[in-house]
Structure 1
Amino acid sequence: MRCQHELGGSGSLMIHSSLKGSAHYIKEGQGCPFVIGDIDPKRTFVHILDDTSLEIVLRTLDTVSDFVAYLTKKEQFLRGNKIILAAGEEELLAHYLTNMNEKNEHDFVIPSDVDESVTSFMFDEGFWDEFQQSPERQEQISANYISYFWDTLIERFSKHILEDTQYYKSHPGVKGTEPVVRFLAAESRFRRRILARQLLDFVRLAPRDKIAIRYICSSSPQEPYYVFLTLPHDDWMTYEVYREARGAFLNAYCRTVKLNFPDVQHIVGIATEPGLNNRSQSEDAMYLDATNWTEEDAAKTREISEELNIFKNAKPFNIHDEEYPL
């Protein structure tokens, strides 16, 4: 690329936040080419990603939530009260991924010991390469491998929705079934790692002779609770009866989660057969919108819960994982 040929380095465009609007248009022999800032300060921030930086960003932030969070924080950072200079988009990205704010979110954190009189910050070339080669990053990449099972689930459910080939559907069409996939796809890469590991471990260890349940609590009202369910297919049951029964159990357990955790607003359920590497493995997925939960809903669910003895012997346990597990 021309930028790499002229200036060397990765070829990523340089960033200078004080460069605004028409200042991007330079006359021959004046200014510095291959530098971007704020294209139109009066409007929504425009993110300019060249071939090099686009590939780096999308390969690193390969979920919608991770990508959008980065763009949002970057916009706030570049439009803040400090002048920001960076040798390339990837240098900013490395700083973002190695710093957390007070909400435990990745962010462009300025060290607390920096004097308030400092007006500009420079992110020089090399920080991204250092981050990529660090043991922490290598361990993260390895640990994230299991998270792509979550992506497989999203693709599988999406395929059946688009082709209208679900075995059982309570609401026909894309509109009725889209919320399930939307919540699955909204999870970050780190959360997908946690959820995928919990689901796969649960299915692998699930008893082969009875129903089993695991539910995953959320850390905020906007995040869904997850209900994982396995039900063995007994020989006396036809496949149709089995799938209907499994769907009914999943619905009942999702509703009971709302009964036991009144503040939860969104519940996603996933059901399958116990055991992995099952050639006849199938999955059910459902979404319970609990934002308009009524006393009548609670009464009906309480009756079903008591009849089926749901959650009577539930045992809580903590889940802990590190984004950079070194």
Structure 2
Amino acid sequence: MSLNQSEERLSALARKTFLSMWSYENPFYEQGKELCDVLVIFGDDVIVISDKLNAFGTHPDNRINWNRWYKKAVAGSVRQLCGARNHIRRAPNEIYANAQVSSPLPLRLPPVDRMRIHLIAVANGCHDACFLASGRSSLRIDTRQRDGSEAFSVGTATDDGDFVHVISTPALDAIFHCFDTARDFIDYLERKKEALLREDWVIEGEENLVAAYMMSQPGNRPFSIPLSRFPVESGVRRVRAGDWSLYLDSSAQEYRQQSRKLSYIIDQLIEDVAEEYAHERMVIGQDQSISYHEQGFRLLASESRLGRQLLGEAFYGIYQESTGKFWSTVLASIDSPRVYYVWLLYPEPPDELEVEIFETYIHNELCKYMMVARAKFPQAERVFGICLPNRDCNRVSRIYQVMDGEDWTDEMQVEAERLGREVGILGGIEQYTVTASR
């Protein structure tokens, strides 16, 4: 694998997990000077990733090979990350999408006092040598390490005391395999960091920690780092090899892979919006900035894979209904309990109806359903409405709307109750409770 192939692979994984609205490849801070390989801006969370691919040497003394590889692949990557972190904090508005620094990033970074920066060093190229020397393909994580003094072992601290995730290829595959939403990915990074800062750890390949995390509970959120699973020996908590293979062969992993299929409806909807905006195909909303759309769609993108699964199941439930009229359902987020989603499917309209007029009409209908939903669920701080064609409709118009539930008036309550009573909107919905398994 070449360096370009390694970077392309990482970028593809990042786009799949964080989606194109929030993931930027090879941003620059000065003309011709890259900030990092991938930058993710997701609300207050900023993920900075450096990807280094260096061939492991062939010197007869493996210690020399390790020192040379570590200096380039790990120390060099961490040095770049620290420089990127410092620039982000010092000059957050001076980050660009092109080498000529003429195109600022579409999204603004959060205020420095709210910013949570996650540093990830992807170290490629030593897995074969690591396997020959230790019987494992992934680097050992030893939180006591500071300078790579032990072969095929890396620490978690930068020179200035910050926390860094050093990830080798097998661990990277495991992480992106299991955490393919922003919420799941960031939750894992935070819980791992919290656990590893609390005491000393030795982890025989991070993929085994990922497996234990995934098996930390039988069904619903939250996942956790299961401390009781890892023995403490001589003051060090140890994660042994083998858990990743067990997880891949487990019925839990197979069930999750099957049950999550409907969840990718949500990913596709978000990506479709980003593509329509980029190609200036929106009828409603094209005049707004991408930051405007990002704020709304971050609600949807903040859903975990399980949250998206439940949203997909709710959609599929009304997608199977008869297609001669509007169908709607309401679902509370399991990740953000005061966020509610309204799905609305519309029927085939008259052929002569122009697109602009039709989209205005279904936008108004969606707003009515969202108002009634807010009246029925007064605890909702945000209501996210999604209006799509039903399975027999030939139109392709899609409407999205976010309502601030806290900007609610007595007049809106009266109108919502009237719509429910006289028009019959959401007449059969009082409360929708769901359970599901991860």
TM-score class normalised by the smaller sequence = 0.7 to 0.9
More strand by share: 2
Q: Partner residue of 1:50?
A: 168
Q: Does 1:217 align with 2:332?
A: yes
1:305 positional shift: 4.5
- Which residue of the partner structure matches residue 151 of structure 1? 267
Q: Match for 1:96: what amino acid?
A: Y
Distance 2:205 2:279 in 1: 42
- Contact kept in structure 1, 2:143 and 2:201, CA below 8 Å: yes
Does the 8 Å CA contact 1:39/1:45 hold for their aligned counterparts? Answer: yes
Quick check: 91-100 or 301-310, which moved more?
A: 301-310
Which residue pairs with 2:147 in the alignment? 24
Partner of 2:158: 40
1:192 partner letter: R
**Alpha-carbon distance in structure 1 between the residues aligned to 2:429 and 2:336:** 22
Q: TM-score, normalised by structure 1?
A: 0.83
Task: Give 1:317 shift.
Answer: 4.9
Q: What are the equivalent positions in structure 2 for 1:158-169 lying under 5 Å apart?
A: 158-169=274-285
Does residue 258 in structure 1 map to residue 384 in structure 2? Answer: no
* 8 A Cα contact 1:4 1:12, kept in partner: no
Q: 2 CA distance for matches of 1:171 and 1:298? A: 31
Within 5 A, what are the aligned runs for 1:174-253?
Answer: 174-205=290-321, 207-219=322-334, 224-235=339-350, 238-240=353-355, 241-253=357-369
Deviation of 1:43 after TM superposition, in Å, equals: 4.1
> Structure 2: which 5+ runs fail to align?
1-124
Rate the CA distance shift 1:309–1:2 in 2: closer, same or farther, 3 A. Answer: closer
Structure 2 CA distance for partners of 1:212 and 1:33, relative to 1, 3 Å: same
Q: Which one scores higher on RCO, CA 8 angstroms, separation ≥ 6?
A: 1
Q: What is the Cα deviation at residue 181 of structure 1?
A: 2.1
Q: For 1:219 and 1:189, how far apart are their aligned partners in 2? A: 11
Once residues 308 and 57 of structure 1 are traced to their aligned partners in structure 2, the CA distance between those partners, rounded to angstroms, is 48
Normalised TM-score (structure 2): 0.64
Match of 2:129 in 1: 5
The match for 2:67 is: none
What is the correspondence of 1:270-289 to structure 2 with a 5 Å cutoff? Answer: 270-275=386-391, 279-289=394-404
Correspondence 1:62-141 to 2 at 5 A: 62-80=180-198, 82-100=199-217, 104-111=221-228, 119-141=235-257
Equivalent position of 1:267 in the other structure = 383
Deviation string, structure 1 residues 54-92 (Cα, Å, up to 9, x no partner): 232123211111110000000011011x32211111011
* RMSD of aligned Cα (Å): 2.9
Secondary structure, aligned partner of 2:237: strand
* Matches of 2:419 and 2:363, distance apart in 1: 14
Query: Is the 1:3–1:34 Cα contact (8 Å) retained in structure 2?
Result: no
Shift of 1:108: 0.8
1:60 counterpart (174, 178, 182): 178
Number of residues of Structure 1 aligned to a counterpart in Structure 2: 310
Larger displacement relative to structure 2 (58-67 or 300-309)? 300-309
Report the Cα distance in structure 2 between the residues aligned to 1:139 and 1:301, rounded to whole angstroms.
Answer: 41
Q: Give aligned-pair identity as a percent.
A: 20
Contact preservation (8 Å) 1:221, 1:263: no
Checking the alignment, whether the CA contact within 8 Å between 1:16 and 1:35 is kept in structure 2 is yes
Match of 2:61?
A: none
3-state SS of paired residue (2:296): helix
CA distance in 2, matches of 1:320, 1:243: 34
Q: Given the superposition, is the C-alpha separation of residues 125 and 295 from structure 1 closer, same or farther in structure 2, using an over 3 Å criterion?
A: same
Take 1:25 and 1:14, find their aligned partners in 2: how far apart are those partners? 11
Kept after mapping to 1: 8 A contact 2:331/2:342: yes
Moved more, 166-175 or 191-200: 166-175
Instruction: Answer whether contact 2:141 2:203 (CA < 8 A) is retained.
Output: yes
Tell me how far 1:155 sits from its aligned partner: 0.7
